[in-house]
């Protein structure tokens, strides 16, 4: 009888350790997914001033649009640095809207549309936007796996015992759900 007790106890301990390690792995995947988004947001953040400067040379009468992009860039940066997902979603919506307006206005400036640096920056920012969307999906998948894992029995016991927490999904405004292909704005 004593041997059976120790075998059952050993199985429970091994299972608990396996569950704990699984939850740690899932939690770290969420952190890695956020770090991937953060890197792309930083890269885009670094490219936007170059785009604004290039546009300023041609778009003297469009300062309001340029200012909206600059302000949205600052809000995205602040939300990114503070890991405020709600504010990030709102700021991302404003930034994408501002970029969409900026690229649409570029249609009225043939010299700007022909500028090699502008075309390079437009392509680079479009690529970063696509990568951000992909990483956002990966982040939300990782968060979902984490949140389900810490709510399912018997992992729930280990999660509560060791303080594993749920993460918030990265959500954006309704306008963000619409696909914006900025490269199409230049193929008119």
The CATH code that applies to domain 20-186 is: 1.20.1440.20
* Secondary-structure breakdown of the chain: helix, strand, coil percentages, each rounded to the nearest 5: 85, 0, 15
Residue with tokens 């301990």: 13
Predicted pLDDT of residue 128: 92
Q: What share of the chain in percent tops pLDDT 90?
A: 47
User: pLDDT tens across 3-58, in order?
Assistant: 999 999 999 999 999 999 999 999 999 999 999 999 999 999 999 988 888 888 77
Distances in Å between the Cα of 50 and the Cα atoms of 44, 53, 78, 93, 114 are: 10, 5, 19, 21, 16
User: pLDDT tens across 50-98, in order?
Assistant: 888 888 877 777 788 888 888 999 999 998 888 888 888 888 888 988 8
Label residue 182 by pLDDT band (50, 70, 90): very low
Q: Where are the domains of the chain?
A: 20-186
DSSP-derived letter for residue 178 is S
């Amino acid at each position: 009888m004593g041997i059976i007790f120790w075998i059952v106890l050993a199985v429970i301990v091994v299972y608990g350790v396996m569950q704990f390690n699984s939850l740690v792995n899932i939690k770290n995947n969420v952190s890695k997914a956020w770090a991937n988004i953060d890197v792309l947001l930083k890269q885009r953040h670094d490219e936007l001033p170059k785009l604004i400067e290039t546009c300023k040379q041609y778009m003297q009468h469009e300062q309001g649009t340029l200012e909206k992009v600059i302000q949205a860039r600052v809000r995205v940066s602040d939300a990114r640095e503070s890991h405020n997902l709600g504010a990030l979603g709102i700021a991302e919506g404003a930034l994408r809207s501002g970029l969409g307006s900026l690229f649409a206005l570029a249609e009225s400036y043939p010299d700007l549309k022909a500028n090699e640096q502008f075309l390079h920056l437009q392509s680079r920012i479009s690529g970063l936007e696509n990568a951000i969307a992909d990483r956002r999906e990966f982040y939300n998948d990782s968060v979902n796996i984490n949140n389900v894992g810490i709510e399912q029995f018997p992992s729930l016991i280990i999660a509560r015992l060791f303080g594993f927490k749920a993460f918030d999904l990265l959500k954006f405004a309704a306008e963000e759900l619409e696909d914006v292909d900025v490269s199409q704005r230049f193929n008119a």
